[in-house]
Amino acid sequence: MINFRSAACAATLALGAGAVSAQETFITIGTGGQTGVYYVVGQSICRLVNRGSAEHGLKCTAPSTGGSVANINAIKAGDMDMGVAQSDWQFYAYNGSPQYEGGEFSDLRAVFSVHGEPFTVLARSDAGIETFEDLKGKRVNIGNPGSGQRGTMEVLMGKLGWSMDDFALASELKAAEQSAALGDNKVDAIIYTVGHPNGSIQEASTTTDAKLVPVTGEVIDTLIEENPYYAKAVIPGGMYKGSDEDTETFGVKATFVTSASVADDTVYQVVKAVFDNFDRFKGLHPAFANLTQEEMISGGLSAPLHPGAAKYYKEQGWIE
């Protein structure tokens, strides 16, 4: 991957005797699969940032990636400047918890949180899966390595004492591929930690006779009690075909993160582009509809705030 951060270049326009200098800085935001909500988060942020390129010189791109853990790894390696990551993976990476294999990333910085992401299990109606425990012995897409759902699924499996051998098949398809696999009866169930409503679950539940499966029980209750980055979550009934009742599960928050080594002014301009245009941002995806500034600058953040973000929040009087 190209390191765009070092690609800042100065374009100088000779205008008569004087010269106007415009510094261009390219920034890259890590997202997720194209059918997910992270991709929309990244694309939306870039769209707002790029509207002001003439003033601040930032040029933003937000390519599709493997998801949370891949984004954190890319930021750590200096290959990306910012990215979206689940609140649990922000915590694990910043603290160097054993769940995160990349080692402690003490330079990880929080910018803001975005929408909630329920841990979502969608099963074919003919698969006989009513509860999370019923996944045992079934063909389950546990997700690509690097995705948040794959990591969180492994955390959950660890708590339940399950191994990959407990499934008839544990496939590693990417989020964008799993709806079709469910429809083609290649798997009995798919897993996605994702904001709702989203096109991916919608596609899967309209093209396939499928239903959401609750993820509840003692192990989940303990997980929530012991870890501030997990919380109870509900996917509202009627949102997707085949799931008329509310589905109880647990969830995380999508968070926007960067590294301490990214310039304060860069992070400041990105944060300013989002919050100066907050209504427009919220209108870009239905999962953003209930966002509030207050919750976004506090909820789900375990790494320290990047100073460039803190500067904007102080200016607004949102933090001291």
Using the minimum distance from each CB to ligand GLU, give the nearer residue, 42 or 57: 42
Nearer to ligand GLU by C-beta: 57 or 251? Answer: 251
Interaction of residue 67 with ligand GLU, rule CB under 6 A: yes
In angstroms, the Cα distances linking 90 to 40, 192, 242, 303, 305 are 20, 18, 33, 7, 12
Report if residue 299 touches ligand GLU, rule: CB under 6 A: no
Instruction: Please identify which residue in the block is written with the tokens 């694990």.
Output: 92
81 versus 117: smaller Cβ distance to ligand GLU: 117
Side-chain-side CA neighbours of 216 within 13 Å: the count stands at 13
Using CB under 6 A, pick the residue from 44, 90, 147, 243 that binds ligand GLU: 147
Beta carbon nearer to ligand GLU, 68 or 277: 68
Q: Which of residues 18-57 bind ligand GLU (CB under 6 A)?
A: 32-33, 36-38
**Which residue stretch of 124-132, 144-152, 181-189, 230-238 sits at the interface with ligand GLU (rule: CB under 6 A)?**
144-152
Instruction: Draw the binding track, 226-265, toward ligand GLU (x: CB under 6 A; -: no contact).
Output: ----------------------------------------
Residue 68 engages ligand GLU in binding (rule: CB under 6 A):
yes
Q: Segment contacting ligand GLU (CB under 6 A): 90-98, 193-201, 220-228, 305-313?
A: 193-201
Pairing of strands 247-259, 82-86: antiparallel
CA angle, residues 239, 244, 246, in degrees to nearest 5: 80
**For residue 43, how far is the Cα from the chain centroid?**
13
Q: Which of 149, 247, 249, 266 binds ligand GLU (CB under 6 A)?
A: 149
Shortest distance in whole angstroms from residue 286 CB to ligand GLU: 13
Least separation, in Å, of the C-beta of 318 and ligand GLU? 26
Q: Could you say whether residue 148 binds ligand GLU (CB under 6 A)?
A: yes
- Beta carbon nearer to ligand GLU, 33 or 57: 33
Exactly one of 49, 75, 194, 296 binds ligand GLU (CB under 6 A); that residue is 194
Q: Is 117 or 188 the residue whose CB approaches ligand GLU more closely?
A: 117
Six-digit token string for 277: 């245009």
Shortest distance in whole angstroms from residue 194 CB to ligand GLU: 4
Contact residue for ligand GLU among 193, 205, 243, 249 (CB under 6 A): 193
Site string for ligand GLU, 84-113 (x = CB under 6 A): --x---------------------------
Q: At its nearest, how many Å lie between ligand GLU and the CB of residue 52?
A: 25
Closest CA relative to residue 79, chosen from 30, 32, 151? 30
Name the residue nearer to ligand GLU (CB basis): 116 or 308. 116
Which residues of this protein are in contact with ligand GLU, per CB under 6 A?
Answer: 32-33, 36-38, 67-68, 86, 117, 147-149, 193-195
